[in-house]
Amino acid sequence: MFYRPSRISPDEKKGILSRFWARDPSLWSSDPAEQEGIRNRLGWISNMAAMREAIPEIEDFSREVVDFGFRRVILLGMGGSSLCALVLEKTFPRKDAFPRLIVLDTTDPDQIETVQKDGDLDTTLFIFASKSGTTIEPNAQFRHFWSMIEGKVPQPGRHFVAITDPGTPLEALAQERGFRKVFLNQPDIGGRYSALSFFGLVPAAILGIEPGRILDRAEEMQKRCSGDVPWERNPGCILAEFLAENALQNHDKLSILADPALSSFGLWLEQLLAESSGKETRGIVPIVGETTGIPGFYGGERMFVYLKLKETPEEDSLQGFVDELKKAEFPVYVIELEDLADLGGQFFLWEMATALACHFLAVNAFDEPDVRHAKAKTSEVLEQYAREGKMPVEFWVDPQSHINFRTSAMVASSMKSLSRAIRDVVHILPSWGYFAFLPYLPEEPGVVEVIGEMRHLLRQEKGCATTLGFGPRYLHSTGQLHKGGPLSSAFLIFTRKRARDYPPIPGMGISFWHLQFAQAAGDFEALSQVQKKVIHVHFGEDYHLGLQSFAKVFARAIRS
């Protein structure tokens, strides 16, 4: 049973905090089997001492990378194995002596090809990051890049590093292929809670960030959040109460505002919140990358958090907008960071607050029961393709725009009109719902801009929140929320026709385009299976033109 934190006594809150630090799994489930699984995912609460001991190993490795002459490092990973690294790469300036870090968390064939050509493979190091060692995306990326580098350098394995758990297929692969280094992570840390482990600290060192600085701030926050600090002065407890109290009063859309230097933090926070809380038709919906607007256009379901960097110039600060939100009586939580290194403290703060908020929401913060559905559906699509030689997907052609599309059974589009399908979805979606844009397209500024305009229009016209998640990244981030979270949601998937015949991934018999399309088709089926409203739009080879044409159809439908 979920309950509002404001309605329990100080003694009860003290008990909850004590149970958290005792790593008591009953905070999140009463089922013995589930408790065993939770027990095996709580290592992040106390792993910083072990990581402190590992700093010399990490720093020796980063010096080895520099001394060898690697000019770029490409991280192959998804979800919890890549998002912290992505935040660090986008937030911290690279030091001159250190290589570029590129986080490749996609199966888009054009993005992969661009990365492949943007540098010399002889001076490229690959970090294969996967907790389980079985995730399909980084495994496919590894097969591709291994085939590219094999035969071109004397010892191809010396161009690869693994970060994984002990005993995984990836550890065995690394030993077999002679990887330069294998970092074995503490196995009782779930992926989305792994920022302050090898998965976050190794990429930090690659960028020239001292991992000790990150851990210093994390340990400072850990002390401020300890069981000896009363609930009302404990940052982790205060933030948890803000999140849970508002979510349980139907303010479950958390809009994440950040000063420019901190804007990418939302990508990591998005997964933590969505995948931890989004289940059993409940959840906190993170809203990232949304433009600001007049407070009156925001639905009443909103709460806001503002990540404020102390040295941000006044012209870049969002403080004025935040003041307007407060005047409009929206719930707003402000966190001020002294400098960028304070992100170390934020990683721990949000992990603790999210876990405690999930206790009040009565959901297990450490499982992701609906993620496997999309994986299973993707496998079914690929198996059918292997049997029949074509993708098992049929589209309608909109008679006016000539755009290919299909809809789930929950969309009343019997007239096979794209405009009508959009209207059916949007006009029924309540203002307290959310609309997710899910493009399986290259993550390019032009694509983000056009979708951003559609997000802005939808908020202005209908007042509902919107999210943007590039596939397949979102499958490992917000995908759990989409299928297991609040029912008042709708989804728009974008794919595109092959521009050409892409080469097959070695040993898989399909190209990255086939894998990417199968993932989109699989998630369409998974969302349809849980009776969500979904529209799948399929563009031609010129996806920029297709997206612009669709945006016009979308605008007319929204305004009609």
**CATH code of the domain covering residue 390:** 3.40.50.10490
φ/ψ (deg, to 5) at 410: -80, -5
Cα(453)–Cα(365) distance, rounded to whole angstroms?
33
Helical H segments across 207-332, by residue range = 211-224, 235-247, 265-277, 319-327
Amino acid at 150: E
Cα(141)–Cα(152) distance, rounded to whole angstroms?
18
Same-domain status, 123 and 190: yes
Tokens of 179: 């990887």
What b-and-e string marks burial along 6-30, b requiring 16 or more CB atoms within 10 Å of the CB?
Answer: eeeeeeebeebbeebeeebbebbbe
Cα(236)–Cα(43) distance, rounded to whole angstroms?
17
The reply to whether 477 falls in a domain is: yes
Amino acid at 384: Q
Q: Please check whether residue 452 is in contact with residue 291, taking contact to mean a CB–CB distance below 8 angstroms.
A: yes
The reply to whether 366 falls in a domain is: no
The reply to whether 66 falls in a domain is: yes
Same-domain status, 467 and 375: yes
Q: Please check whether residue 432 is in contact with residue 301, taking contact to mean a CB–CB distance below 8 angstroms.
A: yes
The reply to whether 442 falls in a domain is: yes
Same-domain status, 177 and 255: no
Coil, strand, or helix at residue 127? strand
- From 182, 209, 236, the end of a domain falls on 209
Same-domain status, 402 and 338: no
Cα(81)–Cα(75) distance, rounded to whole angstroms?
9
Coil, strand, or helix at residue 235? helix
Strand partners, 489: 434
Hey, CA dihedral for 105, 109, 110, 113, is it positive or negative? positive
* Type and span of the H or E element at 543: helix 543-559
Coil, strand, or helix at residue 104? strand
pLDDT in tens, the chain (560 residues): 677 999 999 999 999 999 999 999 999 999 999 999 999 999 999 999 999 999 999 999 999 999 999 999 999 999 999 999 999 999 998 888 999 999 999 999 999 999 999 999 999 999 999 999 999 999 999 999 999 999 889 899 999 999 999 999 999 999 999 999 999 999 999 999 999 999 999 999 999 999 999 999 999 999 999 999 999 999 999 999 999 999 999 999 999 999 999 999 999 999 999 999 999 999 999 999 999 988 988 888 999 999 999 989 999 999 999 999 999 999 999 999 999 999 999 999 999 999 999 999 999 999 999 998 999 999 999 999 999 999 999 999 999 999 999 999 998 765 689 999 999 999 889 888 999 999 999 999 999 999 999 999 999 999 899 999 999 999 999 999 999 999 999 999 999 999 899 999 999 999 999 999 999 999 999 999 999 999 999 999 999 999 999 999 999 999 98
pTM: 0.96
- Candidates 102, 75, 91; CA nearest to 199 is 75
Same-domain status, 19 and 81: no
Coil, strand, or helix at residue 514? helix
Same-domain status, 479 and 529: yes
- Candidates 490, 496, 498, 499; CA nearest to 554 is 490
- Candidates 362, 484, 342, 347; CA nearest to 5 is 362
Same-domain status, 68 and 175: yes
Give the domain range for residue 551: 371-559
Hey, CA dihedral for 260, 265, 271, 273, is it positive or negative? negative
How high is the pLDDT of residue 218? 98
What b-and-e string marks burial along 399-433, b requiring 16 or more CB atoms within 10 Å of the CB?
Answer: eebebbbbbbebbebeeebbbbbbbbbbeebeebb
Cα(288)–Cα(437) distance, rounded to whole angstroms?
12
How high is the pLDDT of residue 416? 81
Please count the structural domains in the chain.
Answer: 3
- From 299, 328, 361, the end of a domain falls on 361
Same-domain status, 355 and 382: no
Instruction: Compute CA 299 distance to the chain's CA centroid, rounded to the nearest angstrom.
Output: 24
Torsion, Cα 140 145 151 154, to 10 degrees, reads -120
- DSSP annotation of 189 reads B
Which residues lie below 8 Å from residue 547, measured CB to CB, with a gap of 6+? 441, 447, 450, 451, 494, 539
Cα(408)–Cα(396) distance, rounded to whole angstroms?
12
Side-chain-side CA neighbours of 250 within 13 Å: the count stands at: 9
- Candidates 256, 282, 283, 279; CA nearest to 269 is 256
How high is the pLDDT of residue 421? 95
> Phi-psi region for residue 69, left (φ > 0), alpha (ψ -120 to 50) or beta?
left
Same-domain status, 395 and 435: yes
Same-domain status, 169 and 154: yes
- From 361, 380, 403, the end of a domain falls on 361
Strand partners, 534: 491
Q: What is the rounded radius of gyration, in angstroms, for the C-alpha atoms of the chain?
A: 23
Which residues lie below 8 Å from residue 259, measured CB to CB, with a gap of 6+? 307, 308, 309, 312, 316, 317, 318
Position of tokens 């993708």?
391
Same-domain status, 76 and 199: yes
The reply to whether 441 falls in a domain is: yes
Tokens of 402: 């000539």
Same-domain status, 49 and 32: no
